[in-house]
Homo-oligomer: A and B are copies of this chain.
Amino acid sequence: MALYVQKYGGTSVGSVERIRGVADKVKGFRDNGHDVVVVVSAMSGETNRLIGLASEMQDQPDPREMDVLVSTGEQVTIALLCMALKERGCDARSYTGGQVKIRTDSSHMKARIQDIDVENMRADLTRGRVVVVAGFQGVDEQGNITTLGRGGSDTTGVALAAALSADECQIYTDVDGVYTTDPRVVEGARRLDVITFEEMLEMASLGSKVLQIRAVEFAGKYKVPLRVLHSFQDGPGTLINIESDNKMEQPVISGIAFNRDEAKLTITGVPDIPGVASKILSPISAANIEVDMILQNIGAGGLTDFTFTVHRNDFSKAQTVLEKVAKELGANGTEGADNIAKVSIVGVGMRSHAGVASTMFDCLAEENINIQMISTSEIKVSVVIAEKYLELAVRALHSAFDLDQQAVEESM
């Protein structure tokens, strides 16, 4: 008799048949005596259709009106799912973001949740109803419709689970869990039964697209147990565990993440004096370019090189800004490349295990892969390499850290 918040994404509710499938699944949980709050996205394709209409009306669509427009996508899904549940004899009631009172700030298209009123939902659950909530949307203090930005439905799910103290927030997707790495790259990639929040955060931010990083952060902050499952296949999925300090039996490395979406830029021969980093990065951030890795090595002769990575889409924009900065600082020049990839090993286990980084570097050296940049955190080591070596590097590391399916089976 648990309370589950279940989130179904756009693909899971992408057709009339799939909505029926979700209704069957939800009814199964009710029949087993569980309380269920369902969060749904817009039917896949619908949000893009609406954005397309908007761009035909206005060059830069007004953010307030954009939220009024796109929030209709989820509103359609909640109504249809409730109908499907009722058709199955399962009482249900839908709520828009405004109706369930998901109060947000007024930042249209990227609002942040401030408060949720759980009173109506609790009353419905007590009456045996399934509560169906529109994901991705809320309402500000003045009653304006807001949206949380793309992928915000995961965040809605986690926020509802936190507000209702749910036993678990289940994110239903088109994969059956979190893998040690992308199975399309490494055949022997394994589904993880459990992963810690910190690891999931690193995996998500490094390009493992299973969960929105914002939702994972939110779940970690409010200690909401989060589980990733397949919408239409049975299975335990992957639990993102709130207990991250139980390191017994914890493998050293949980997974290999990678990312092809970055580009690197270097400004060479800048004066090695206090404040220079800020002088380089302020104009970049003023141009609304997000920076990922930042590297500055020790200088020589009063000069140093400064390297950072940005999203590949921002590469040429960042180059233009950086060339201007180089002139102003009297630097030697700038360099850049967008044919790079970032590969990371992630695992809380490495906190207590020495030599993890050197295992990684040895492995790459054996494959003759040159490392262009290195960056580390407590539970992660990332390297930037040439993009063409990406698959080779991931496969080699997966094997070097004993993550292959076969390896585990043999050791059992």
Chain A residues within 8 Å of B, Cβ to Cβ? 16, 19-20, 50, 53-54, 56-59, 61-62, 64-66, 68-69, 71-72, 75-76, 78-84, 86-87, 93-94, 96, 98-99, 143-145
Contact = CB atoms under 8 A, between A and B. Distances in A.
Given A16-B53, A50-B76, A76-B50, A84 B68 contact: no
Contact of A79 (B65, B79, B82, B143): B65
A66 B94 CA distance: 11
Contacts of A50: 76
B69 A76 contact: yes
B58 A79 contact: no
Nearest to A73: B72
A78 B84 contact: no
Given A16-B57, A53-B16, A98-B98, A80 B76 contact: no
10 contacts: A16-B56, A16-B57, A19-B57, A57-B84, A58-B86, A65-B86, A68-B75, A69-B83, A72-B76, A96-B145
B99 A143 contact: yes
A78 B84 CA distance: 28
B75 A57 contact: no
B96 A80 contact: no
A101 to B, nearest CB: 9
Contacts of A16: 53, 56-57
A20 B57 contact: yes
Nearest to A91: B62
B57 A80 contact: yes
Given A16-B57, A66-B79, 17 more contacts: A16-B53, A57-B84, A61-B83, A65-B78, A65-B79, A65-B80, A65-B82, A65-B86, A66-B83, A68-B78, A68-B79, A68-B94, A68-B96, A69-B79, A69-B83, A72-B72, A96-B145
A98 B83 CA distance: 22
Closest 4 CB pairs of A and B: A69-B79, A72-B72, A57-B83, A58-B83
Contacts of A80: 53-54, 57, 65, 69
Contacts of A64: 93-94
Contacts of A65: 78-80, 82-83, 86, 94
How many copies of this chain does the complex contain? Answer: 2
Contact of A72 (B56, B75, B81, B143): B75
A62 B83 contact: yes
Nearest to A17: B56
Nearest to A143: B99
B57 A87 contact: yes
B87 A58 contact: yes
A83 B66 CA distance: 8
Nearest to A139: B99
Contacts of A86: 58, 62, 65
Contacts of A98: 98
A304 B363 CA distance: 104
Contacts of A96: 68, 145
Contacts of A145: 96, 99
Contacts of A69: 75-76, 79-80, 83
Contacts of A19: 57
A87 B60 CA distance: 8
A15 to B, nearest CB: 10
Contacts of A58: 83-84, 86-87
A59 B84 CA distance: 9
B57 A76 contact: no
Given A59-B87, A86-B62, A99-B143, A79 B94 contact: no
A197 B143 CA distance: 38
